[in-house]
Structure 1
C-alpha cells in the first residue's frame, strides 16, 4: 500500500478507534462505514469551513464578494450531505453491539485478539480474508434471502424508536405517512428504503414530539400534498414548531371531521375520531389530553383492515366503544402498549395481529405486561419494533400477513 494512502486512512481510522468505546456506551452499535465516509467527505470540510467563514466576515462590508464565496462553499457542503446520505443506506453500515460495561469488555477482548492475529503476516492474511468474506456474504446475500421492502407491501411500521411512524402505500413511489417519529433522519431513511418520493398526505395523530418531530425528514427531497392534524391542538413547543414547519413549506393543513374518507392507491382511509365538537377527555397521566385527542384511522384494503389508534388512552377508547368501533385484522396498539388500555376495546376490534411501535429499553415500561396479556388472551399475534425492526403488512393468499425486517 502506498505510504500516502496509509497516512490518509490512518487519521480517520485513529479518530474512529478513539470514539468507538463512546459509541458502544451510548448507542450499542459499531460503525463500519465511518472511516470510508470520513475519507470521502474530508476533502470538502476545509473549503466549506474556510469559505463559509470568509463569507460571513466580509458579507457586512462587501455582500457581492460574499455571494461568490458562498457558491463553492455550498457545493462543498452539498458533497458532505451527499456522502452522509449514501453512508446511511449502506447495508451493514452499523452492526449491533452490547452496550454498557459488557460491551466495552467485549470490545477490549476483540481488540486484543485482533492485535494478536494481525501481528503475523500469515495470520493477518487469513484473518482479513475471513472478515472480508463474512462481510461480503452478509451484504450480498441478505437482500437476496430477505429483500426489503417485501414485494407488494401495503403498510410499514418504521422502527423509529420510542414513537410512531407508519407508511401506507398509495401507488408507485407514493405513500401516506401517519406520524413521523421523533427523529427526521430516521423517518427519512425509512421512506428511502421504501422508495417513497411523493407523499400526498401526512396524518399527524397528535402533537407530541415522538409523533411529529420527524416531519422535516418527510420533506427531504419529497413533495408533500397536505398535512392532517387533530382539531384539539393545545399550545405546546411541538405545536409551535409544527406551525412554523407547515408555514415554511406552504403545506395546507386540514382538520377533517369523523367520517372523512380518502381513497389513495390500494388503501381506503376513514377518520373515526376525534370530533371537534366534543371536549377531549383528561386522564390521570401527563399528556393524556393530547393522547386522547389522537386521530384514529380505519384502513381498508382488498385483503383486510387495520385500525391506527395513535396514543388514545382508556377514556378515548371507551368513547370509541360507545360509537361502535369497527373490527380490524391489524391493530396499531395505542400509546406504545401503555397500561392505560380498555380490554373491551381490544375485544371489540378483535385483531389477528397487534403492532407495537416502541423504543428498545425505554424508561416507560412500554409495552406493559397486562396490555400484552390482554392481546394474547384474544389470540392476537404481537409484533414489536424494538424486537423485530420495521414491520410490513402485506397481502398473502387473500388475507393480511406481517413481515419483520429484523434488527
Structure 2
C-alpha cells in the first residue's frame, strides 16, 4: 500500500450536490491520497470534492467520502492545536540527533507520533507485546501526572493544588498527542488507574472506572465496537482489581516496589489475554517478561521526551541535550523488543473466537486448581522452568536453523524472491530482497548475516526489490548489481535514488561478470541484449531482463534464473547453458517456461520461491508436471518455509525449515 494514502475521520458541515446545498453535522470517514492531507491538524476546515457512499450497515459513521484531489484549506487550526503542532515538530527536530530506530520511536513513545517509526521496530514491538507503548495510554499520562504531583510535593503545595496541576498537565499532554478518541479514553483511564493505585482504594477505583466507561459510551457509542477501548478497560480493570492483591502477596517475599513492578504488567496482561485471543487468535508468551524489562525505561523516556517537546520551540539545541539521555532509554526498549521477538515461540497460536475463549477458561481453571497448593506450585514451576530451558537450549540443538555449513538459503518472504549465498562467517551475497523489508531482515538475522559484500537485484519488480531497506538494516553493503532493464521505470528510479542516497556503488550486470566470495563462485549469464526487449508486454520485458547467475561450489552448482520467461530462456539456451544440480525456477513457477530450457539444466532439484495462496496461480500445475516429468524434486517456500542448500557427503542437498 502506498504511504501517501490516508484515512481521516471528520465531520461534514456543508454538502453540495446536483446544484443543491445541505447543512449538516454528520460524522464521515475520508479516504484520500496525497501528502497535503498528512499536514492537516484537528479543528481545521477544508473543502474537497469527492464521491459520497453510504457506510456499512450498523456503523455509526454517516458516509464514506472518497477524495481524489488535494484539500482546499478554509481555516487554520485552533490556537491550542497550533501550539501542539509546534511542540510535536520540535520533538521530531530534536530527536534528529538520535540513530534512526530511536529517532522514530521516541516521538511515538511520548506523544503517539509514529510517522517516523521504523517498520522493523514496529514489528518487534508488536511481537513482543510492547506495541501499546507507541499509543498514548494511561501509563503515559500517569507518568506526567506523577512527576507534577512529586514536584508539587517537593514545593510544599497543598494536595488540592497538586491535583489541579496534575489534571492540567494531563490535559495539555492530551492536546499535544492529538485529542483522538484513543487519547481521550487514555486520559480518563490513566487518571482513574493512577488515582486508585496512588491512594490504594481499588474499590473506589472500580466504581470510578465503571462510571467512566458509561460516560465514554454515552459520549461516543462507537467505542463499544472498538477492541482498543475494550483493551483499555480490561487492562485498567486488571490493574485495579488484580494488581493490589498480587502485589501484597508478593511483598511478603520481596521489596514492595519490586512486587508492584511485577504485579502491574502481569495483572494488565492477564486481564487483556481473553480479548487478545478473541481478536488475534494467539497468545503473546513473551509479553509479560518483555514489559517487565522495558517498563523501567518508559518513565524516563516519556519525561525527558515531553520536556524536550516543551523546550524545543524556544531552543532546539537545549531540547537535544534532553533527547540524548532519552535515546538511551528508548534504545533499551528497542533492544528488549528485538530480543524478545527473536525468542522461539514468542507468540503461541491459539484458537480464536468462542472456542479459544472456552479453551483459555479451561486452561485458567486447571492452572488455578494446580496452583492452590504450595506443593503443586513447586511442581508446576519446576515443569515450567524445564520447558523454558528446553525451548531456549535443547530446541536450538535439535532443530537448529540454519543447518551447519549452509551454502544457499531461499528465504520464505511470501510472493517474491530473496536468496542468500554464504560468503564466509557472518557474510553473504543477497540476490533480491522480496517485497517486505521486515521479512528479508528477519531471514538475514536468522542466518547471522552482518555484512553483504554484494547485493544483486535481478530486475526492478517490487516483489524483488521492495525489501531493500531490510538488507541495509544494521548491515554494511559493499556494492549493488542491477539489471540493464529499467522497467517499471518508477521502481527502477526509486532503487537508484535509494542507492545514491546511501552512497553504495551501483553496477549494471553484463554476461561474463564473475566473483569468488567465500565458498561460492558466481558468474553472470544474462540478461543477453537480445532478451532485454523480448516479451509480449511490459511485465515480460522486465522479467526477461532479469540477471541470471550460475553458482558453483565444491559439491555442485545452481542456476538462479530470476524471472526470465520463454523468450529469454530460449536465448540463454541458444548461447549455451551450463548444467546445474539445482534450478531456481523462474518467475515463481509461472506457466511461461520453455520445456527445453528446464531439461537442459539437468537439475535434480527445483527451488520455487512463492507465496501461499497468491493471486497469480503460482506455481502453475503445468510447470509442476513438467518438473516432475524431468525427474526434479520440487521444493517450495510456501510449503517448506526457508529452504537451505547444504553440502552432504560431497553432494548438494536441500533442507526445508518446515519438515
Fold shared by both chains (TM-score > 0.5):
yes
Q: Does 1:256 align with 2:505?
A: no
Shift of 1:282: 2.7
Residues 103-149 of structure 1, C-alpha deviations (whole Å, 9 max, x = no match) = 43542342132133134245885777666655543443222222222
Task: Give the whole-Å Cα distance in 1 for the aligned partners of 2:385 and 2:278.
Answer: 23
The equivalent position to 1:342 in structure 2, one of 586, 594, 609, is 594
* C-alpha distance in 1 between matches for 2:539 and 2:275: 41
Please say if residues 88 and 189 of structure 1, whose CA atoms lie closer than 8 Å, have aligned partners that are also in contact.
Answer: no
- Alignment of 1:207 with 2:464, yes or no, is no
SS at match of 2:407: strand
- Are 2:265 and 2:288, in contact at CA under 8 Å, matched by a contact in 1? no
The equivalent of 2:606 in structure 1 is 354
Unaligned runs of 5+ in 2: 1-249, 252-258
- Provide the rounded CA distance (Å) in 2 between the counterparts of 1:381 and 1:340: 19
Matched residue pairs, number? 398
Tell me the equivalent position of 1:228.
Answer: 481
Which one has the largest radius of gyration?
2
Deviations 1:141-179 (A, max 9, x none): 222222222111111111112221111111122110111
Number of the residue aligned with 1:104? 353
1:91 aligned residue: 344
Tell me, yes or no, if the aligned pair for 1:231 and 1:275 is still in contact at 8 Å: no
Measure the CA separation in 2 of the matches of 1:368 and 1:277.
Answer: 27
Q: Judge conservation of contact 1:356–1:384 (CA < 8 Å) in 2.
A: yes
Matched, 1:23 2:280: yes
- 1:342-398 CA-to-partner distances (Å, cap 9, x unmatched) read 222211112111111122222222222221111111111111112221111111111
Aligned to 1:158: 411
Q: Paired residue for 1:383?
A: 635
Range with bigger deviation, 166-175 or 108-117 = 108-117
Match of 1:79 in 2: 332
Q: Higher relative CO (CA 8 A, sep ≥ 6), structure 1 or 2?
A: 1
CA contact (8 A) 1:356 1:385 kept: yes
Asked whether 1:371 is paired with 2:646, we answer: no
* Structure 2 CA distance for aligned equivalents of residues 240 and 38 of structure 1: 42
Unpaired segments ≥5 residues, structure 1: none
Mapped contact 2:277–2:352 kept (Cα < 8 A):
no
1:115 equivalent in structure 2: 364
Which stretch shifts more, 301-310 or 29-38? 29-38
1:282 matches 2:535: yes
Which whole-Å CA distance do the structure 1 matches of 2:493 and 2:450 have between them? 27
Q: Is the 8 Å Cα contact of residues 415 and 611 (structure 2) preserved in structure 1?
A: yes
The whole-number CA distance in structure 2 between the counterparts of 1:105 and 1:363 is: 31
CA contact 2:285–2:348 (8 Å) conserved in 1: yes
Higher helix share: 2
Helix, strand or coil for the counterpart of 2:397? helix
Q: From the superposition, tell whether residues 252 and 386 of structure 1 become closer, same or farther in structure 2 (CA, over 3 Å).
A: same
Q: Where in structure 1 do 4 or more consecutive aligned residues deviate above 4 Å?
A: 122-136
Question: Would the aligned equivalents of 1:283 and 1:315 in 2 still touch at CA under 8 Å?
Answer: no
Post-superposition CA distance 1:15-68 (Å, at most 9, x none): 4543343333xxxx5432233223333343454455445434543431221111
> Matches of 2:637 and 2:439 in 1, distance apart?
13
1:40 is the counterpart of 2:293: yes
Q: TM-score, normalised by structure 2?
A: 0.56
Aligned-pair Cα RMSD in Å? 2.5
- Within 2, Cα distance between the matches of 1:363 and 1:133? 44
In structure 2, distance between residues paired with 1:128 and 1:21: 27
Secondary structure in structure 2 of the residue aligned to 1:365: coil
Q: Does 2:252 correspond to 1:11?
A: no
Kindly indicate whether the alpha-carbon contact (under 8 Å) linking 2:611 and 2:638 is maintained by their aligned counterparts in 1.
Answer: yes
Structure 1 residue aligned with 2:646, among 394, 401, 406?
Answer: 394
Call closer, same or farther: CA 1:41–1:287 in 2, change over 3 Å.
farther
Distance 1:304 1:75, change over 3 A: same
User: How far apart, CA to CA, are the structure 2 residues paired with 1:198 and 1:231?
Assistant: 25
In structure 2, relative to structure 1, the CA distance for the partners of 1:287 and 1:59 (3 Å cut) is farther
